[in-house]
Amino acid sequence: MSTIQTLTDAGLAKAQITGGELPVHSPIDGSEIARVSQTPLADLPQILDRAEAAFHVWRNVPAPRRGELVRLLGEELRAGKEALGAVVTLEAGKITSEGLGEVQEMIDICDFAVGLSRQLYGLTIASERPGHRMMETWHPLGPTAVITAFNFPVAVWSWNTALALVCGNPVIWKPSEKSPLTAMASMAALHRALERFGDAPEGLVQLVIGGPEIGDGLVTSPRVPLVSATGSTRMGRIVAPKVAERFGRSILELGGNNAMIVAPSADLDMAVRAIVFSAVGTAGQRCTSLRRLIVHEDIRAGLVEKLKTAYASLPIGDPRESGTLVGPLIDMEARDRMLAALDQARAEDGTVHGGEAVEAVAGGAYVSPALVEMPGQSAIVETETFAPILYVMGYQTLDEAIALQNGVPQGLSACIFTRDLREAETFVSAAGADCGIINVNIGPSGAEIGGAFGGEKETGGGRESGSDAWKGYMRRATNTINYSDELPLAQGVKFDI
């Protein structure tokens, strides 16, 4: 199928993808596949005006009615799943099943948010004063900026947008400059849902395309009470202080340096399958990708041999081809960073297996996944490299393994493979892993939308998707109602006049 046909099937008109000033390249072969128009910075005040006007209308729409729009979006995504998944593959380089899986995440969060629209509840709290009732209410917060990264170009937007909409907030979406086409295709699906919905305010969901300047305009604007930003820790260090300076709220999803502990009792065949998918899926370009493998010394050598065999058999190539498991890195700069990290690992006494540039498709940034045996947790191991590099280290005691797991700046996802109940329970306890996502006998990658997604430390502390992450998109009010004929003060204070 031609590139133009792929984009047309996803709802993009030829005029939208030609003649603009921002070139878009496919990581599959490095070719330019479109040129799209960027949003002028001068347009931002009008965009914010529309968002504020939409908020004043949308916040008064009953939440279950707001959920109906999200339900319709889910229907449109179901109908267009194959087409949108193909654009994800074309623009982000994911293998076909992962491109489709990302769209399925969008569908799943829509389903979740529809149910949530009838469950935005607060608490009734016992009052110390007679004749009084105290309760919590949750109200829409306001225009929400969603800034997304190239590696999950549409799923992360949907996590935020589905929740923001049912919570009563308009959305302004700034996608990565490397993946504007998936954003435009997603907005085409949303516009079809809006047409079916019928009475949504103009400016409820808007798309802005551009670089750091337009993003900075959203981050620094006091008219945007919530900024949800996904990207590198470096990006988070820029965004967080700017939002905090104006007393805004931020949901940050930043770097991950995720580890797996493999205990002597582990099911090694199951562990190998989990390791390979978690480390090389999406060519190692997930924030939850497995980057550190901490293996008990008694089984370390045998497990490394199993992994070397598995790595050697991985099909690398065009992600659209059946059977391909490892597609390209996003661009040549990412490949160069990976190769430089492997050079540093060698300088720190690491033994590298794999990790060579591969000419799978001319013009694409293809590499063979790297398995790196390290003598310890050195500087390069503590650094997240967004590529399929897996550092392997040994341990003797569980305490030592947990210390290694926790001994990095990032705190997104961690896991352990063990059949020992005490080890498993220790790992998920307060004395165990210090991450936001902690798994037992499953890899660190591939979180479900039903749970809150996010991590600690330099991962940013934000939570998106399931559980009670919706509270981040709303403001809480504590209300006290006096239905008595008296006016008692709290804490027994007397102030009679």
For tokens 């750091």, the residue is 212
- In DSSP terms, which residues pair with 453 in a beta bridge? 464
Q: Say whether 268 sits in a helix, a strand or coil.
A: helix
CA–chain centroid gap for 392, Å, is: 25
How many C-beta neighbours within 10 Å does residue 20 have? 16
CB 319 within 8 A of CB 97: no
For the range 273-279, what are the long-range contacts, defined as Cβ-Cβ under 8 Å and sequence gap of 24 or more? 274/415, 274/417, 274/442, 274/443, 275/307, 275/390, 275/443, 276/307, 276/310, 276/311, 276/314, 277/443, 277/445, 277/446, 278/443, 278/444, 278/445, 278/446, 279/369, 279/388, 279/390
Q: Is 425 a catalytic residue?
A: no
Q: Which of 253, 373, 423, 458 is catalytic?
A: 253
CB 287 within 8 A of CB 151: yes
Q: Say whether 135 sits in a helix, a strand or coil.
A: strand
- In DSSP terms, which residues pair with 464 in a beta bridge? 453
Q: How far is CA 137 from CA 66, 113, 294, 339, in A?
A: 18, 19, 46, 53
**Residue 375, Cβ density class (10 Å: 0-12 exposed, 13-18 middle, ≥19 buried):** exposed
In the DSSP assignment, the letter for residue 365 is B
The CA distance from 380 to 291, in Å, is 11
Axis crossing angle, helix 63-79 with helix 81-92, rounded to the nearest 10 = 70
Q: Say whether 494 sits in a helix, a strand or coil.
A: coil
Q: What six digits make up the tokens of 37?
A: 């128009």
Sign of CA dihedral 440, 445, 447, 453: positive
For tokens 């809480």, the residue is 476
Q: Is 287 a catalytic residue?
A: yes
Q: Which of 287, 415, 423, 464 is catalytic?
A: 287
CB 150 within 8 A of CB 330: yes
CB 314 within 8 A of CB 388: no
* Nearest C-alpha neighbor of 170 from the set 279, 57, 312: 57
In the DSSP assignment, the letter for residue 329 is B
Positions marked catalytic: 253, 287
